Amino acid sequence: MAVLSYLANPYRFMAVSKWFALPFTLLGVGLILIGAYFGLFVVPEDFQQGDSARIMFVHVPAMWLSLFAYAFMTGASIVSFIWRHTLADVAAKSAAPIGAAVTALGLMTGSIWGYPTWGTWWEWGDARLVSVLVLFFIYLGYMAIWQAMDTPQKAARAAAILCLVGAVNLPIIQFSVEWFSTLHQVKMKAADEFKYPMYVVALGYFSLFGGLTLFNMRAEVMNTRAEMLMQRRQAAE
């Protein structure tokens, strides 16, 4: 909590974040390239799925990050509600477009993977597929609220409420395989040589998420400063 209180000050946040945004981003890109290289050119084809299983290096980390990004937004929204930290709203807003992008990536790669694996691009009866699609729409709705409201304060409040309500979908996605009869119950076991590059790519995804979120937050803070400066100049004229 002491760390949150310290970073709640925009000036302190800007001073600290500048040392982490670029390194996290570069580390993420590097890990993704390393993991993708081993996954595409070093690891042999899967004994069960063949070369089609290589898409897991993109799909699985994307789905992990889509859930983590929304959980991050939920935590930030809780902090905003309880402690009224403005930067918590900025953090959630900054993470939303990244979460939406990786969710879309997960849906697209999942469909590509699903056709050779399950014989269909999409199945509306699959609870996990549909719940992830709902998550994508929640991301879009969250971002739309920030654009639709007439003041940042109203937008932050409404977006936080939507985020907290939408968090109900996270356990549905996670446990849908156990709660419902779905295509995802047909599990494919990957060999260890497949798992390790996938974990490297996943670490890269998470590091890239951290770096891009910090860049977005810094941009939001600078935009707010610019708007305040313009308002002061207009008031002085």
DSSP track, 125-136: T-HHHHHHHHHH
pLDDT at residue 185, as a whole number = 47
Q: What's the average model confidence in pLDDT over 212-222?
A: 95
Residue with tokens 């290589």: 54
How far is C-alpha 62 from the geometric centre of its chain's CA atoms? 8
Least confident of 31-45, 114-128, 152-166, 193-207: 114-128
42 domain residue, yes or no: no
23 domain residue, yes or no: no
- Contact, 136 vs 104, CB < 8 A? yes
Exposed e or buried b per residue across 119-153, where buried means at least 16 C-beta atoms within 10 angstroms of its C-beta: eeeebeebbbbbbbeebbebbeebbebbeeeeebe
Closest CA to 49 of 125, 107, 115, 105: 115
DSSP state of 120: -
Helix, strand, or coil (residue 44): coil
- Contact, 199 vs 32, CB < 8 A? no
Q: How much of the chain is helix, strand and coil, in % rounded to 5?
A: 85, 0, 15
pLDDT(113) > 70: yes
Q: Which domain holds residue 187?
A: 54-236
12 domain residue, yes or no: no
DSSP state letters, 177-205: HHHS--GGGS--PPPHHHHHHHHHHHHHH
37 domain residue, yes or no: no
> From residue 81, how far is each of 126, 149, 189, 202, 214 by CA, in Å?
34, 18, 42, 31, 21
pLDDT at residue 156, as a whole number = 93
Domain count, the chain: 1
49 domain residue, yes or no: no
pLDDT at residue 106, as a whole number = 95
pLDDT(184) > 70: no
230 domain residue, yes or no: yes
φ, ψ (nearest 5 deg) of residue 167: -65, -20
**Percentage of residues in the chain with pLDDT exceeding 70?**
86
6 domain residue, yes or no: no
When comparing pLDDT for 233 and 182, which is higher?
Answer: 233
200 domain residue, yes or no: yes
- Contact, 95 vs 171, CB < 8 A? no
